[in-house]
């Protein structure tokens, strides 16, 4: 059944709205049933949903996060991009470092193509000694479903990382980004915490 974001238009010849439709409200989905008596509205109850990223893949091993951090530390004055790719045929993760053309404020790279075998699990870039944050350029380019991260303060023993995923739209029409914790992507969590710091969400 189609879920509408506003009441449907009445039929061209007049009369009632469709006898049954579902309407998306700010606090959930409502079922609306129409008859000559009027409209009967009930909020649908069921399995509650929560915002979040619920991966269908196994978590990426934390040593690969450690290797990403090493790659960033090897380039302390330049940005770098590493993609985490899952091989759905072999069942393992691989790192792909891109962007040989880079400086302190940008890195040039082409996002990896995705097919049925190779799934881009996450795309993580560095901010070298700067604090990690997502720029307007990041907002414009990080539209494909997946996880994204920025790691900064690579001069520290434990750099600082921030992570997010795109889903939904803001009232302005721009893509909405929701935060992630690194331990939602990499495991085990204690190993992740020993590799990077994360701001409190």
Q: Is the pLDDT of residue 19 over 80?
A: no
Q: Is the pLDDT of residue 161 over 90?
A: yes
Q: Is the pLDDT of residue 3 over 90?
A: no
Helix or strand run (H / E) with residue 3: strand 3-4
pLDDT-based confidence at residue 50 (cuts at 50, 70, 90): low
Class of CATH domain 60-195: alpha beta
What global pTM score does this model have? Answer: 0.78
Q: Is the pLDDT of residue 198 over 90?
A: yes
pLDDT-based confidence at residue 144 (cuts at 50, 70, 90): confident
Residue 132, Cβ density class (10 Å: 0-12 exposed, 13-18 middle, ≥19 buried): buried
The domain spans of the chain are 3-43, 60-195
| Residues facing residue 46 across a β-bridge | none
pLDDT-based confidence at residue 13 (cuts at 50, 70, 90): low
Q: Is the pLDDT of residue 1 over 60?
A: no
**Helix ranges, 35-76 (H):** 62-73
pLDDT-based confidence at residue 105 (cuts at 50, 70, 90): confident
Q: Is the pLDDT of residue 47 over 60?
A: no
- Per-residue pLDDT averaged across 150-168, rounded? 94
Q: Is the pLDDT of residue 184 over 90?
A: yes
Q: Is the pLDDT of residue 65 over 80?
A: yes
- Per-residue pLDDT averaged across 147-153, rounded? 96
Measured CA to CA, the distance from residue 127 to residue 193 in angstroms comes to 19
Check: CB of residue 139 under 8 Å from CB of residue 175: yes
Structure confidence at residue 15 (pLDDT) = 62
Structure confidence at residue 142 (pLDDT) = 92
- What's the Cα-to-Cα distance from 179 to each of 11, 34, 136, 189, 196, rounded to whole Å? 43, 40, 16, 17, 16
- Per-residue pLDDT averaged across 28-44, rounded? 76
Backbone angles phi, psi at 189, to 5 degrees: -55, -45
Q: Cα 33 from chain centroid?
A: 36
- Per-residue pLDDT averaged across 26-43, rounded? 76
Structure confidence at residue 23 (pLDDT) = 81
Measured CA to CA, the distance from residue 20 to residue 33 in angstroms comes to 4
Nearest to 52 by CA among 184, 197, 161, 198: 184
Share of the chain above pLDDT 70, in %: 87
Q: Is the pLDDT of residue 194 over 90?
A: yes
| Residues facing residue 20 across a β-bridge | 33
């Amino acid at each position: 059944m189609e879920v509408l974001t506003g009441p449907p238009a009445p039929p061209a010849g007049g009369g009632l709205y469709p006898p049954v439709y579902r309407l998306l409200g700010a606090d959930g989905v409502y079922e609306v049933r129409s008859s000559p008596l009027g409209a009967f509205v009930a909020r649908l109850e069921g399995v509650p949903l929560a915002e979040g990223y619920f991966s269908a893949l196994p978590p990426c091993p934390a040593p690969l996060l450690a290797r990403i951090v090493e790659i960033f530390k090897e380039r302390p004055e330049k940005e770098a991009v590493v993609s985490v790719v899952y091989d759905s045929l072999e069942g393992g993760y691989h790192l792909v470092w891109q962007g040989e053309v880079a400086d302190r404020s940008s890195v040039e790279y082409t996002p990896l193509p995705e097919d049925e075998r190779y799934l881009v699990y996450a795309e993580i870039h560095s901010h070298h000694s700067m604090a990690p944050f997502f720029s307007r350029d990041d907002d414009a380019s990080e539209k494909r479903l997946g996880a994204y991260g920025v790691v900064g303060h690579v001069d520290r023993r434990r750099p600082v990382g921030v992570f997010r995923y795109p889903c939904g739209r803001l009232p302005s029409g721009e893509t909405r980004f929701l935060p992630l914790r690194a331990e939602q992507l990499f495991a085990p969590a204690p190993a992740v915490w020993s590799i990077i710091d994360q701001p409190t969400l």
